[in-house]
Amino acid sequence: MFMELTRRGFGASSHPESGYADQRLADDVLQVLDSFKLVTPVLVGHSMGGNELTTLASQHPDRVSGLVYLDAGFDPKDFPTNDPAYVELTSNLPPNLLPHLPSFPASEWHAVGHQSVRHAVSAIAEGTKKRDYSNIRVPVLSLFATVRPTDDPLHKDLPTDPELRAAVEAFDAITMTYITKYEESLLAAVPTARIVELPGANHYVFLSNEADVLREITSFIAHLTSTAF
């Protein structure tokens, strides 16, 4: 059984002005689990959804059997956009050389309008806490969208201009430094966590790397099932 939960402020869910802090969002998820009498499901979260996953599993480890982070393993309080060097590199790179993100799903924009979505995203960012995995007691799968190594033949975005190429390589290096920090933070608290890097994937890994994501989640759930008995 698969169930998709659309958090407050998105899609057909309610769009209140407040209630976007980690705790409130986690409580929303718990209420849904209670309403549908879901005892110990596997929770899958994308991007900011990692906030709810971490908070809920930390407080109610008996209510989940596993967590899947889809490019959701970053620390909201330690993000590259807060790094002046990263911001400077970003501003100096042509748009076509920045990591490509697909457009936000059109159905979401049409359902609630741009302003509502922007408000929800901004409110979630303001209400989030520093990521703390120390109380996670369930199996974890975390998939990260990573940059391709410069010597990877599939890395087609490297320019021939020496200065631009150096800027892209520096941008990639800083990006990977942050991703490595996120991975190490998770593994320090949950040593058994499975981390999967997807070089060249974009933030919406379930779109850019659908087959990889389905394979990893299927394997993760199968392992949980086989070890539950």
In which residue are the tokens 């409130």 written? 24
Q: How confident is the model at residue 98 (pLDDT cuts 50, 70, 90)?
A: low
Q: Note the pLDDT of residue 107.
A: 55
Asked if residue 193 lies in contact with residue 68, where contact means CB atoms within 8 angstroms, the answer is no
| Region 22-226: CATH code | 3.40.50.1820
pLDDT tens for 109-120 read: 555 455 667 788
Q: Note the pLDDT of residue 157.
A: 64
In which residue are the tokens 């790397």 written? 209
State the angle between helix axes of 22-35 and 49-59 in degrees (0 to 180), rounded to the nearest 10. Answer: 70
Q: Note the pLDDT of residue 105.
A: 56
pTM reported for the whole predicted model? 0.89
How much is the average pLDDT of 86-103?
70
Residue spans per domain, the chain: 22-226
Most confident residue range from 73-87, 113-127, 128-142: 128-142
Task: At 68, give phi and psi (nearest 5°).
Answer: -125, 120
Token reading at 13: 């869910």
Q: Note the pLDDT of residue 127.
A: 87
Q: How confident is the model at residue 139 (pLDDT cuts 50, 70, 90)?
A: very high
Q: Note the pLDDT of residue 155.
A: 64
Q: How confident is the model at residue 149 (pLDDT cuts 50, 70, 90)?
A: confident
- Tell which phi-psi region holds residue 93, choosing left (phi > 0), alpha (psi between -120 and 50) or beta: beta
Above pLDDT 70, what percent of the chain? 86
Token reading at 131: 């990521």
Helix ranges, 69-161 (H):
84-92, 106-112, 114-127
pLDDT tens for 33-61 read: 999 999 999 999 999 999 999 999 999 99
Q: How confident is the model at residue 153 (pLDDT cuts 50, 70, 90)?
A: low
Per the model's pLDDT, the better-predicted residue between 214 and 117 turns out to be 214
- What distance in Å separates the CA atoms of residue 229 and residue 227, rounded to the nearest whole number? 5
Residues 6+ apart with CB under 8 A from 74: 50, 131, 178, 179, 182
